[in-house]
Amino acid sequence: MDHVVMHNGTIGANTVTNVVIIADSSGQEFADGVPVIGANVCVDAGDASLNTNALGAVDLNGCARVRNGRMDIGCFEADWCGKYSQKLSGRKSFAVVAADSQVVLEEGADLTIRSGMLAAEWTNTAERTRTYGCGVEVTGSGVLSVTLNGEAFATLARTDGAQRLEFSNDAATNSLVFTYTPSEDDGGWAILKEFSFQGGGFVMTLK
């Protein structure tokens, strides 16, 4: 069965806006009504300017109406946290647990925070000291603030260049929150790169 959608994005090599296309519904994947990222043309294809106040800021599941920087077509927004987790680490012990609407992952690119926050957790069931690290960089004129387990950990600006943040402990769970506050007409963002860990008893470092 076919259905009609208004598509924003790319068709072949062309960028399109509010183009009506006929999509084969048998080829569009959903999970409990939510479009599946990478397998549904509705993901990130909505037009926020066509949203009405009646729809509000959340979808029918109560989740943010905009995720990954763009609204989806339909009543439900796809959850990008799993994709973010896979991009940054791929380990079962690492998970992105929350992300604001302007955390964006584009195909073939690094994960960026245009504005707002991304929260992640490392779990450690081995009960051994581990040294954790991640890559960060600010390309905009704003400020990236990082907290570790609720405490201020790092503050970075564009002048700091690319950095690798590291810390060591044996905690069962470590919570990290990255918050980028852009300046007016910022023109850039914060970039998050590979999250990894090593065993051993290294001293906490911030480079």
Residue 174 pLDDT exceeds 50 = yes
Strand 2-11 with 14-24, pairing: antiparallel
Q: pLDDT for 26-81, tens place per residue? A: 668 888 888 889 888 888 888 777 766 666 788 888 888 889 999 888 889 999 99
CB 21, CB 34: distance < 8 Å: no
Where do the domains of the chain lie, and which CATH numbers do they carry?
2-79 (no CATH), 82-199 (2.60.120.260)
Across the beta sheet with 103-105, the strand order is 103-105, 111-113, 190-199, 130-138, 163-169
What's the CA gap between 64 and 48, in Å, rounded? Answer: 12
The confidence band for 1, taking pLDDT boundaries of 50, 70 and 90, is very low
Q: Which residues contact 101 (CB under 8 A, 6 or more apart)?
A: 64, 65, 66, 67, 68, 69, 116
User: Chain-wide mean pLDDT for the chain?
Assistant: 85
Number of residues in the chain: 207
What's the CA gap between 180 and 113, in Å, rounded? Answer: 6
pLDDT at 134: 97
The region of weakest confidence among 71-80, 111-120, 135-144, 168-177 is: 71-80
CB 122, CB 113: distance < 8 Å: no
The region of weakest confidence among 37-46, 83-92, 155-164 is: 37-46
